[in-house]
Amino acid sequence: MTKKTLLYLMLTMATMSSSLPLLTSCNDKKDTEEEVFSYSASTQATLIRAFGLQADSEVLTNLDSVHFTVDYDRGLIYNADSLPVGTNITGLKVIVEFLNTVSSAKFTITGATEQVDTTIQYTTSMTQKLDFTGRTVLTVTSADETQVKDYEVKVLVHKQNPDSLIWDKSWRRSLTGIRGSATAFKAVKQGDLYRMMVYNGRECDILTATEPNQETWDKQRFTLPFTPQVMSLTATDDALYVLADDGTLFTSPDGLEWISCGVKWHSLLGAYNGRVLGILSGADGYYHDEFPQSDGYTVTAVEPGFPLSHSSGMIETDNEWTVSQQSILVGGIDSNGDLLNNVWGYDGTRWGKINNAHSSALPALADATLFSYYTYKTLPGTRRYAPQETWYLMGGKLADGTLNKTIYLSNTQGVTWFKADSIIAQPSYMTKFYGAQAFVNYEILTATGGASNMPRRVQSITTTWECPYIYLFGGFDEDGALIRYMWRGVYNRLTNYPVY
């Protein structure tokens, strides 16, 4: 006889066969409405249907919403998403639900920090607190006392803050292929390829790779028929664009053969839907322009407070408030020579200022680095977490000429900003910079060795997942010297097994 009840599948050890029966449970009633077991009647006699902690705001807000997985085959009960660093687990009250009536259930505690070795009988009215810092075993005896099952209970606590941003020193890499005589270089992403233009005042190298962390990039060396403004280099999916020192816009499919686009611009802002956007200098002021021009396009005067140059890179994004794709850029210098803390957005037709500069946490910045990444938010009333798209702004020059080392974040597509706290701060050993390029690259992580034994829960069994890493290329230091290496950063939680 098999009783049918709903249970989530869990991620077991990589070496465990996926054909083994799996048992997990949720504290949420909605997760237990249609549970499914595939165990014999004798086995079901000692099955635990759900395990949880009782509410205790002095220990942790929403402690009673922490999810615990029950792994019958391994005799293990644990919280897949570890509790925050420093959570006190020396005195917790528990709730246990059994699939069937049992004769007894008792906790055996050994080696705990505060509670002496002891055995405690569990009852539905139990108020005694348990110390989970040692080894805790829950022994269940069936109603007819013919079956006995031991479950080791683990209350896991993070040893490192999962919401920290990590720039590990060991991940820093020198950029091979950057000659010592180089005066400037810039990296861009063109479709599925990463390209770097390296210039030394006479010759130009184009370096190409399929991954930003590729150890050796393919290199092509040649002499350009013009002097490039290297930091203006911009890529669409199928072409590269760069301004010459006289403002002429040039384009190339691969960086090796360049042709003039027949226009001269004051500056090149970035790419949007296969076109590049720039600033045209006229006799009576500055105008927005694009290349190639779409049907019906007309140049329009640049708005007051719009950056003519030295803004962050222009980043394309989708959001819930606009019908079309939007691009944003931050900071820069306007036509009056003023340094800006404005955020401007472009929807394919018009530019508009997004943030309120008077209430913004952003300082005025030139040549800051902008990229879209993630932070995590707590789901209301629970100890569960969900990713949220977050804009990061790093580096750049401040109005007094010093370099910025504060990271600024926006969870509202650039409308509001706030300073990142210490767990997302730029580390002291990381050189201050301006003019760097950032890319987010998704890489496959695999549970191997000891990592495969770490308890995590997902809705289906998996041993691989995608993790987005930040790659920060080059830029310039406080002395204006080229930074000839790249950093790799990651939001710590994203390196763990997916939990939900």
pLDDT tens digits, 387-401: 999 999 999 999 999
Return the bridge partners of 485, or none: 174
Distance CA 166, CA 491 (A): 6
Cα atoms found within 13 Å of the Cα of residue 120, Cβ hemisphere only? 21
Q: Is the preceding omega at residue 212 within 30 degrees of 0, hence cis?
A: no
**Residue 493 tokens, joined:** 């939680």
Strands (E), 90-227: 94-98, 102-110, 118-121, 135-142, 148-154, 165-166, 173-174, 184-190, 193-199, 204-209, 218-222
pLDDT at residue number 446? 82
pLDDT tens digits, 247-258: 999 999 999 999
Distance CA 53, CA 55 (A): 7
Q: Which has more confidence, 17 or 126?
A: 126
Give SS3 for 56: strand
Tell me how crowded residue 447 is: count the other CB atoms within 10 A of its CB.
18
Amino acid at 249: L
DSSP structure class, residue 312: P
Across 182-196, b (16+ Cβ under 10 Å) vs e yields bebbbbbebeebbbb
Q: pLDDT > 70: what percent of the chain?
A: 86
Instruction: Name all domains of the chain by residue range, CATH numbers in brackets.
Output: 29-154 (2.60.40)
Rg (CA), the chain: 29
For the segment 111-140, the average pLDDT, to the nearest whole number, is: 95
pLDDT at residue number 320? 54
pLDDT tens digits, 341-357: 999 999 998 999 998 76
For residue 363, give Cα distances in angstroms to 111, 395, 415, 433, 443: 53, 11, 14, 16, 33
| The dihedral sign for the CA sequence 233, 273, 391, 346 | positive
The contacts of residue 17 (CB under 8 Å, 6+ apart) are none
Of 223, 224, 213, 88, the closest CA to residue 157 belongs to 88
135-142 and 148-154 as β-strands: parallel, antiparallel, unpaired? antiparallel
Is residue 316 classed exposed, middle or buried when 0-12, 13-18 and 19+ CB atoms within 10 A define those classes?
middle
**Residue 306 tokens, joined:** 């719009």
For residue 389, give Cα distances in angstroms to 356, 386, 411, 461, 470: 20, 10, 6, 26, 14
pLDDT at residue number 450? 40
**Residue 62 tokens, joined:** 């929403």
Residue 318 reports pLDDT greater than 80: no
DSSP structure class, residue 353: E
Amino acid at 40: S
What are residue 199's phi and psi, to 5 degrees? -130, 140
Residue 2 reports pLDDT greater than 60: no
Distance CA 351, CA 270 (A): 13
Cα angle: 339, vertex 344, 346; to 5 degrees: 145
Let me know: does 374 contact 385? Beta carbons within 8 Å: no
Let me know: does 107 contact 96? Beta carbons within 8 Å: no
pLDDT tens digits, 57-92: 999 999 999 999 898 888 999 988 888 889 999 999
Residue 214 reports pLDDT greater than 50: yes
**Residue 304 tokens, joined:** 């007051």
Of 435, 492, 495, the closest CA to residue 465 belongs to 495
The contacts of residue 456 (CB under 8 Å, 6+ apart) are 11, 80, 496, 497, 498, 499
